Amino acid sequence: MHWIGPRTATTVRAFLAAALTLTAVNCGSTTGQAPQTGAPAPNATTAPAQQTTTTIPGARPSPGCQETATTGTTAPAGPVERTLTVDGVERTYLVSTKGTTRNVPAPVITLLHGMGSTAADINRVTDLPDQASAAGTIVVTPQAVGTPTLWRPAAQGPDAAFLDQILVDLGQTACIDTARVHVAGFSVGAALAAAYACARQDEIASIVTVTVEAPGGCVDPMPILSFHGTADPVIAYGNSDPNASGGVTGTEANMATWARTAGCQFTPTTTNIGSEVVRLEWPGCRDAAEVVLYRIVGGGHDWPGKDPATAVVPSTQQVSATKEALSFYGRHHQ
């Protein structure tokens, strides 16, 4: 999934260059219509009914909380495929509700795969559904379309509408906390995550991006956690070069833009996590936002901390993007 040959790398760079330019134009003037969020727990088994929804301070229970409080269903063990029709096109996504309690509003993470990949692929590589279940968090993994599969990163459009509809479906059929809806993305999926979240800042609490962190057009502080390898052959790490590979500015320049929007201090603090990982954080952000970057020294176009037993290309084991993401999400809500 994460090894990309020269021809594919060129295709990804060209696509991102065009897509990110379009995103920059669209996000500056478009405010998305935020969904009333929350995914179903299809094929669930019946359990003793719960008559009330558990109250969590600051939670915004979705309409599905009332429904599940009276039906009392338990979550299926693994991801379940769901189908939606969006603008006349049949689309699918995986939903994992393992570890959730039907009358407790659950956080939600939307996980977006990279170009040429699948929802099942990114679930396997990141192990996010299983690890999120320990915190009672729902993970939804949409499937892109096309050959190769790819997202169209924009604040509005067919893919943004698909994500909207997923959250509507989820909010009506499961008990979710609409104050704790997050987005994560890899590569082109990260570009969509940024554009989508910035157009829906009243609905998306925070984002995590891996290998692409180009600003999505946010006008208010947005908590963002990013990971990028300095040897990424697809989207160059760079620093402040506007002509960097992929047609985007360098990674640290991108993160500085997120920091300015969040009102953070100009100079980041740096912490060496190990010989292969440096953590940069722009402190003093407004509204309790965080702007954090993990620089993966010598890292490529991949997900840091993925299981080395199944990896085609080795990844650093000095930091786990999945574990750091879950900790980050736990600190942020609307």
Kindly state whether residue 109 falls inside one of the protein's structural domains: yes
Task: State yes or no: pLDDT of 265 exceeds 80.
Answer: yes
Residue of 211, 164, 167, 220 lying closest to 189 (CA atoms):
211
Q: How far apart are CA 229 and CA 224, in angstroms?
A: 17
Kindly state whether residue 188 falls inside one of the protein's structural domains: yes
What is the token pair recorded at 56? 């969590």
Q: Do 163 and 39 meet the contact criterion of CB atoms below 8 Å apart?
A: no
Q: Report the CATH number that the domain containing residue 172 is assigned in CATH.
A: 3.40.50.1820
Kindly state whether residue 305 falls inside one of the protein's structural domains: yes
Domain count, the chain: 1
Kindly state whether residue 194 falls inside one of the protein's structural domains: yes
Q: How far apart are CA 236 and CA 103, in angstroms?
A: 45
Kindly state whether residue 235 falls inside one of the protein's structural domains: yes
Mean pLDDT, residues 226-247: 75
Kindly state whether residue 47 falls inside one of the protein's structural domains: no
Mean pLDDT, residues 193-201: 97
Q: Do 189 and 151 meet the contact criterion of CB atoms below 8 Å apart?
A: yes
Task: State yes or no: pLDDT of 105 exceeds 80.
Answer: yes
Q: Is the model more confident about 40 or about 263?
A: 263
Task: State yes or no: pLDDT of 274 exceeds 60.
Answer: yes
Kindly state whether residue 203 falls inside one of the protein's structural domains: yes
Structural domain containing residue 142: 6-27+59-330
pTM: 0.84
Mean pLDDT check: name the lowest of 35-39, 225-229, 246-250, 317-321. 35-39
Mean pLDDT check: name the lowest of 27-36, 127-136, 139-148. 27-36
Task: State yes or no: pLDDT of 141 exceeds 70.
Answer: yes
Mean pLDDT, residues 129-135: 93
pLDDT at site 10: 54
> b vs e for 200-236, b when ≥16 Cβ sit within 10 Å of the residue's Cβ?
bbebbbbbbbbbbbbbbbbeebbbbbbbbbbebbbbb
**What SS3 state is found at 282?**
coil
pLDDT at site 17: 56
**Mean pLDDT over the full length of the chain:** 83
Task: State yes or no: pLDDT of 44 exceeds 50.
Answer: no
Mean pLDDT, residues 63-91: 79
Kindly state whether residue 243 falls inside one of the protein's structural domains: yes
